[in-house]
Amino acid sequence: MFFKTKNFSVNELGRFRALQTLVFNLQTEIAETLQEGMSEKDVTAIMMKKYRAAGAGNYFHLPVALFGERTALPGDWTVGHFFPKKKTLTKGDSVILDASPLFDGYLVDTSYSFCFGKNKKHDEMMRDIIKERALILDAVNAGQSFQKIAVDVHDRASANGYESAHEKHPGEVLGHRAGRWRFAKKGRKSKGWRMKGFDGATLSWFIAKNKIAKLGLKTQNPLWGPSNTSDHKPTDGLWLVEPHYGKDGVGAKWEEILVIENGKAEWLQDNPPHVEKWA
Protein backbone atom coordinates (compact mmCIF):
# COMPACT_ATOMS: atom_id res chain seq x y z
CA MET A 1 0.00 0.00 0.00
CA PHE A 2 1.41 3.39 -1.00
CA PHE A 3 -0.05 5.16 2.06
CA LYS A 4 1.70 3.79 5.14
CA THR A 5 -0.18 3.99 8.45
CA LYS A 6 1.70 1.64 10.80
CA ASN A 7 5.01 -0.16 11.47
CA PHE A 8 6.97 3.07 11.38
CA SER A 9 10.67 3.13 12.16
CA VAL A 10 12.16 5.22 14.96
CA ASN A 11 13.39 7.69 12.35
CA GLU A 12 9.95 7.96 10.74
CA LEU A 13 8.28 8.56 14.10
CA GLY A 14 10.91 11.17 14.82
CA ARG A 15 10.03 12.91 11.57
CA PHE A 16 6.32 12.87 12.45
CA ARG A 17 7.15 14.31 15.88
CA ALA A 18 9.30 17.07 14.42
CA LEU A 19 6.63 18.01 11.89
CA GLN A 20 3.84 18.00 14.46
CA THR A 21 5.96 20.27 16.67
CA LEU A 22 6.64 22.54 13.70
CA VAL A 23 2.95 22.91 12.83
CA PHE A 24 1.97 23.55 16.45
CA ASN A 25 4.70 26.17 16.69
CA LEU A 26 3.41 27.90 13.57
CA GLN A 27 -0.13 27.89 14.95
CA THR A 28 0.90 29.43 18.27
CA GLU A 29 3.00 32.04 16.46
CA ILE A 30 0.04 32.98 14.26
CA ALA A 31 -2.25 33.12 17.32
CA GLU A 32 0.03 35.71 18.92
CA THR A 33 -0.17 37.99 15.87
CA LEU A 34 -3.96 38.08 15.50
CA GLN A 35 -5.61 41.47 15.66
CA GLU A 36 -9.20 42.53 16.14
CA GLY A 37 -11.00 42.92 12.83
CA MET A 38 -9.02 40.25 10.98
CA SER A 39 -11.21 37.81 9.07
CA GLU A 40 -11.06 34.03 8.91
CA LYS A 41 -9.98 34.43 5.28
CA ASP A 42 -7.13 36.71 6.34
CA VAL A 43 -5.86 34.16 8.86
CA THR A 44 -6.10 31.10 6.61
CA ALA A 45 -4.12 33.01 3.96
CA ILE A 46 -1.39 33.63 6.55
CA MET A 47 -1.50 29.97 7.57
CA MET A 48 -1.05 28.76 4.01
CA LYS A 49 1.83 31.15 3.40
CA LYS A 50 3.68 30.06 6.55
CA TYR A 51 3.16 26.32 5.98
CA ARG A 52 4.31 26.67 2.40
CA ALA A 53 7.44 28.52 3.52
CA ALA A 54 8.11 25.75 6.06
CA GLY A 55 8.06 23.13 3.30
CA ALA A 56 4.47 21.94 3.04
CA GLY A 57 3.59 20.63 -0.40
CA ASN A 58 -0.13 19.99 -0.15
CA TYR A 59 -2.82 19.68 2.53
CA PHE A 60 -5.03 16.76 3.50
CA HIS A 61 -7.60 19.48 4.09
CA LEU A 62 -7.15 23.18 3.54
CA PRO A 63 -6.26 25.23 6.64
CA VAL A 64 -9.18 26.14 8.88
CA ALA A 65 -9.69 29.23 11.06
CA LEU A 66 -12.91 29.47 13.04
CA PHE A 67 -13.94 32.49 15.13
CA GLY A 68 -16.58 32.99 17.80
CA GLU A 69 -19.77 30.99 17.52
CA ARG A 70 -18.40 29.17 14.46
CA THR A 71 -15.95 27.31 16.73
CA ALA A 72 -18.96 25.44 18.15
CA LEU A 73 -20.08 24.27 14.66
CA PRO A 74 -23.64 25.54 15.14
CA GLY A 75 -26.77 24.32 13.38
CA ASP A 76 -26.78 22.06 10.34
CA TRP A 77 -23.01 22.10 9.88
CA THR A 78 -21.52 20.69 6.68
CA VAL A 79 -18.00 20.37 5.27
CA GLY A 80 -18.45 23.60 3.34
CA HIS A 81 -18.95 25.54 6.56
CA PHE A 82 -15.32 24.84 7.53
CA PHE A 83 -14.09 26.99 4.65
CA PRO A 84 -13.06 30.48 5.81
CA LYS A 85 -15.67 33.22 5.82
CA LYS A 86 -15.60 36.98 6.17
CA LYS A 87 -16.32 36.52 9.87
CA THR A 88 -14.11 39.01 11.76
CA LEU A 89 -12.35 38.59 15.09
CA THR A 90 -13.63 40.39 18.18
CA LYS A 91 -12.50 40.44 21.81
CA GLY A 92 -13.63 37.39 23.75
CA ASP A 93 -13.95 35.16 20.69
CA SER A 94 -12.95 31.53 20.97
CA VAL A 95 -10.64 30.60 18.07
CA ILE A 96 -9.68 27.30 16.46
CA LEU A 97 -6.77 26.99 14.03
CA ASP A 98 -6.64 23.61 12.30
CA ALA A 99 -3.96 22.57 9.82
CA SER A 100 -3.29 19.34 7.93
CA PRO A 101 -0.20 19.91 5.77
CA LEU A 102 1.72 17.24 3.89
CA PHE A 103 5.51 17.43 4.13
CA ASP A 104 7.35 15.08 1.75
CA GLY A 105 4.43 12.66 2.02
CA TYR A 106 4.08 12.89 5.83
CA LEU A 107 0.53 13.79 6.85
CA VAL A 108 0.12 15.61 10.16
CA ASP A 109 -3.05 17.29 11.42
CA THR A 110 -3.13 19.58 14.45
CA SER A 111 -5.67 21.86 16.10
CA TYR A 112 -4.89 24.74 18.41
CA SER A 113 -7.75 26.26 20.40
CA PHE A 114 -7.51 29.51 22.34
CA CYS A 115 -9.39 32.66 23.20
CA PHE A 116 -8.77 36.12 21.75
CA GLY A 117 -8.98 38.03 24.97
CA LYS A 118 -10.78 36.65 28.02
CA ASN A 119 -13.62 34.15 27.96
CA LYS A 120 -14.30 32.11 31.10
CA LYS A 121 -16.57 29.72 29.20
CA HIS A 122 -13.75 28.83 26.82
CA ASP A 123 -11.27 28.39 29.67
CA GLU A 124 -13.63 26.05 31.52
CA MET A 125 -14.29 24.10 28.32
CA MET A 126 -10.57 23.65 27.68
CA ARG A 127 -10.02 22.44 31.25
CA ASP A 128 -12.74 19.83 30.68
CA ILE A 129 -11.75 18.70 27.20
CA ILE A 130 -8.07 18.28 28.03
CA LYS A 131 -9.09 15.58 30.53
CA GLU A 132 -10.06 13.44 27.55
CA ARG A 133 -6.40 13.09 26.61
CA ALA A 134 -5.65 10.82 29.59
CA LEU A 135 -9.04 9.08 29.48
CA ILE A 136 -8.74 8.17 25.79
CA LEU A 137 -5.18 6.92 26.27
CA ASP A 138 -6.21 4.75 29.23
CA ALA A 139 -9.18 3.33 27.32
CA VAL A 140 -7.01 2.36 24.34
CA ASN A 141 -4.48 0.69 26.62
CA ALA A 142 -7.31 -1.18 28.33
CA GLY A 143 -8.30 -2.63 24.94
CA GLN A 144 -11.71 -0.99 24.74
CA SER A 145 -13.22 -0.82 21.26
CA PHE A 146 -12.83 2.34 19.21
CA GLN A 147 -16.60 2.59 19.11
CA LYS A 148 -16.99 2.43 22.89
CA ILE A 149 -14.26 5.02 23.40
CA ALA A 150 -16.01 7.41 20.99
CA VAL A 151 -19.40 6.85 22.65
CA ASP A 152 -17.89 7.40 26.10
CA VAL A 153 -16.35 10.71 24.97
CA HIS A 154 -19.80 11.76 23.74
CA ASP A 155 -21.44 10.72 27.02
CA ARG A 156 -18.91 12.60 29.15
CA ALA A 157 -19.37 15.71 27.03
CA SER A 158 -23.15 15.49 27.44
CA ALA A 159 -22.79 14.99 31.18
CA ASN A 160 -20.87 18.27 31.34
CA GLY A 161 -23.48 20.06 29.24
CA TYR A 162 -21.49 20.15 25.99
CA GLU A 163 -22.23 19.06 22.45
CA SER A 164 -19.75 16.66 20.87
CA ALA A 165 -18.98 18.93 17.95
CA HIS A 166 -16.54 16.41 16.45
CA GLU A 167 -19.61 14.41 15.47
CA LYS A 168 -20.25 17.17 12.92
CA HIS A 169 -16.83 16.54 11.37
CA PRO A 170 -16.80 14.46 8.16
CA GLY A 171 -17.54 10.86 9.15
CA GLU A 172 -18.50 11.90 12.73
CA VAL A 173 -14.89 11.21 13.67
CA LEU A 174 -13.27 11.35 17.06
CA GLY A 175 -10.12 10.46 15.15
CA HIS A 176 -8.71 9.36 11.83
CA ARG A 177 -5.57 7.87 10.34
CA ALA A 178 -2.28 9.72 9.97
CA GLY A 179 0.31 8.31 7.64
CA ARG A 180 3.00 8.71 5.05
CA TRP A 181 2.81 8.52 1.28
CA ARG A 182 5.63 6.24 0.16
CA PHE A 183 7.95 7.41 -2.60
CA ALA A 184 7.00 11.06 -2.14
CA LYS A 185 9.79 13.23 -3.49
CA LYS A 186 11.62 15.25 -0.85
CA GLY A 187 10.98 18.96 -1.16
CA ARG A 188 8.14 18.44 -3.64
CA LYS A 189 5.64 21.30 -3.32
CA SER A 190 3.14 20.41 -6.00
CA LYS A 191 -0.42 21.29 -5.02
CA GLY A 192 -1.67 18.00 -6.47
CA TRP A 193 -5.35 17.56 -7.32
CA ARG A 194 -8.11 18.43 -4.90
CA MET A 195 -11.56 17.04 -4.09
CA LYS A 196 -13.93 19.28 -2.13
CA GLY A 197 -11.04 21.02 -0.38
CA PHE A 198 -9.14 17.79 0.33
CA ASP A 199 -6.03 16.29 -1.24
CA GLY A 200 -7.50 14.04 -3.91
CA ALA A 201 -5.16 11.09 -3.47
CA THR A 202 -5.47 11.01 0.31
CA LEU A 203 -9.24 11.47 0.31
CA SER A 204 -9.60 8.68 -2.26
CA TRP A 205 -7.58 6.39 0.00
CA PHE A 206 -9.86 7.22 2.96
CA ILE A 207 -12.99 6.61 0.88
CA ALA A 208 -11.72 3.25 -0.39
CA LYS A 209 -10.69 2.07 3.07
CA ASN A 210 -14.00 3.15 4.57
CA LYS A 211 -15.90 1.18 1.91
CA ILE A 212 -13.80 -1.90 2.69
CA ALA A 213 -14.66 -1.49 6.39
CA LYS A 214 -18.36 -1.29 5.61
CA LEU A 215 -18.08 -4.60 3.73
CA GLY A 216 -17.07 -6.26 7.01
CA LEU A 217 -13.32 -5.70 7.39
CA LYS A 218 -13.75 -3.25 10.26
CA THR A 219 -10.08 -3.02 11.19
CA GLN A 220 -9.48 -1.44 7.77
CA ASN A 221 -11.57 1.55 8.80
CA PRO A 222 -9.45 4.77 8.68
CA LEU A 223 -12.07 6.58 10.77
CA TRP A 224 -12.63 6.33 14.53
CA GLY A 225 -16.11 7.18 15.63
CA PRO A 226 -19.42 5.93 17.07
CA SER A 227 -20.41 3.85 14.02
CA ASN A 228 -20.43 0.05 13.92
CA THR A 229 -17.36 0.06 11.65
CA SER A 230 -15.41 1.22 14.74
CA ASP A 231 -16.65 -1.70 16.83
CA HIS A 232 -13.25 -3.38 17.17
CA LYS A 233 -10.19 -3.22 19.38
CA PRO A 234 -7.79 -0.32 18.77
CA THR A 235 -5.84 -0.79 15.55
CA ASP A 236 -2.08 -0.34 15.46
CA GLY A 237 -0.62 2.68 13.72
CA LEU A 238 -0.93 6.45 13.88
CA TRP A 239 -4.23 8.08 14.76
CA LEU A 240 -5.15 11.76 14.79
CA VAL A 241 -7.43 12.25 17.77
CA GLU A 242 -9.60 15.39 17.83
CA PRO A 243 -12.30 15.73 20.50
CA HIS A 244 -14.30 18.92 19.95
CA TYR A 245 -16.81 20.51 22.33
CA GLY A 246 -19.37 23.23 21.72
CA LYS A 247 -21.79 25.16 23.91
CA ASP A 248 -23.54 28.55 23.80
CA GLY A 249 -21.51 29.90 20.89
CA VAL A 250 -18.15 28.73 22.26
CA GLY A 251 -16.09 25.86 20.88
CA ALA A 252 -12.83 24.19 21.87
CA LYS A 253 -10.81 21.25 20.61
CA TRP A 254 -7.35 19.73 20.40
CA GLU A 255 -5.82 17.36 17.88
CA GLU A 256 -2.59 15.38 17.89
CA ILE A 257 -1.08 12.01 16.92
CA LEU A 258 -1.64 8.90 19.03
CA VAL A 259 0.77 6.01 18.38
CA ILE A 260 -0.53 2.46 18.89
CA GLU A 261 1.95 -0.42 18.66
CA ASN A 262 1.05 -4.00 19.59
CA GLY A 263 -2.12 -2.72 21.19
CA LYS A 264 -0.33 -0.25 23.47
CA ALA A 265 -0.67 3.48 23.01
CA GLU A 266 1.24 6.65 23.75
CA TRP A 267 1.00 10.22 22.56
CA LEU A 268 3.62 11.08 19.97
CA GLN A 269 4.50 14.31 21.77
CA ASP A 270 4.62 14.75 25.54
CA ASN A 271 3.92 18.45 25.81
CA PRO A 272 2.04 20.01 22.87
CA PRO A 273 0.58 23.50 23.44
CA HIS A 274 -2.81 22.37 24.78
CA VAL A 275 -1.09 20.15 27.35
CA GLU A 276 1.39 22.81 28.36
CA LYS A 277 -1.38 25.31 29.00
CA TRP A 278 -4.30 23.24 30.27
CA ALA A 279 -3.25 19.83 31.61
Length of the chain: 279
Q: Is the pLDDT of residue 269 over 90?
A: yes
Total domains in the fold of the chain:
1
> pLDDT per residue over 177-194, tens digit each?
999 998 765 555 555 656
Find, among 184, 185, 224, 215, the residue nearest to 202 by Cα: 184
Q: What is the domain-level CATH number for residue 186? A: 3.90.230.10
> pLDDT per residue over 201-247, tens digit each?
888 888 888 889 888 888 889 999 999 999 999 999 999 999 999 99
pLDDT confidence of residue 191: 57
* Number of other CB atoms surrounding residue 270 within 10 Å: 9
Q: Which domain holds residue 118?
A: 3-278
Mean pLDDT of the chain: 93
> pLDDT per residue over 105-157, tens digit each?
999 999 999 999 999 999 999 999 999 999 999 999 999 999 999 999 999 99
Q: Is the pLDDT of residue 173 over 80?
A: yes
DSSP secondary structure of 222-254: -EESSSGGG-SSPPSEEEEE--EEEETTEEEE-
pLDDT confidence of residue 194: 65
User: Do the beta carbons of residue 219 and residue 210 sit within 8 Å?
Assistant: no
